[in-house]
Amino acid sequence: MPDMTEIMQKKELNLVKISILILVLFVLSFLLDIDVLKAWVERAGPWIPLAFIALKALTIIVIPFTGAAVYPLVGLLFGLWPGLAYVAIGDLIGFTTAFWISRLFGQAFIERFIAHKQGSLFAHIVEKVETPKGFFHAAIAFLPMPELLSYGAGLTKLRYSIFIMIIWPLWTMVATVLVLIGWFFDFGDDPFVITFVMPVIAVATCVVGGLIFSRNLLAKKGVEDTPG
């Protein structure tokens, strides 16, 4: 089924991006003084958290954007609970805005901003989210694409209260894991972390990214080698 293939490709692409980001954070934790960076953020006052909240909302509202990098970075700069609160607020604003833009302006307006390869996937989402049960199943299946879920739900008769009570907690669970990854790198001065944990994370990240890349490369080669 073509749309399921797109879902798997999207999930694997997100995993690769997250793996690369973790590796970058691992390197930066040795090259940069995290305490100095956090002190600068604190001196900047409320503007930096507000900027991250706005940025996170935009990654939902503006479809080509991706918010995967924001979560670990927020965890690193602000800590676990403040960071999670900031991205959760940003996601809430983003989900809500996308839902009501879709509901107020309709499908023709939304499809202007959706890439051609996402068009069939978006139509499939719209078909599945008419009921609370259908939206819950769609939210599980299409979890790596919260922006399409939000815009798709807005085109249906699904109530906003049902929509937000399903998508926000589900996505917050994902956000918690990603923010936790960034927060973990704040313990870079701990000898145990430096000696054992960080190298294990770095190696695991490279392995996961390499396996996904190799799998996609082999699959692509298999398609190209298939007789027409």
d(CA 204, CA 166): 32
Query: E-strand spans in the chain?
Result: none
Question: Which of 74, 45, 51 is closest to 184 using CA atoms?
Answer: 74
pTM greater than the 0.75 cutoff = no
Q: Which two tokens stand for residue 201?
A: 């994370």
What totals of helices (H) and strands (E) does the chain contain, helices first?
12, 0
Q: Which two tokens stand for residue 94?
A: 């983003």
pLDDT along the chain (228 residues), means of 10: 50 58 59 67 86 92 76 86 94 97 92 70 82 90 87 94 96 87 65 47 51 50 48
Work out the angle at residue 109's Cα, subtended by the Cα atoms of residues 104 and 113, and round it to the nearest 5 degrees: 125
Torsion sign, CA atoms 163, 61, 18, 184: negative
Cβ pair 60, 92 in contact under 8 A: no
d(CA 149, CA 110): 12
For the chain, the C-alpha Rg in angstroms (whole number) is: 19
d(CA 78, CA 144): 24
One-letter amino acid of 228: G
By three-state DSSP, how is residue 144 classified? coil
Other Cβ atoms closer than 10 A to 37: 13
Q: Which two tokens stand for residue 61?
A: 């509202």
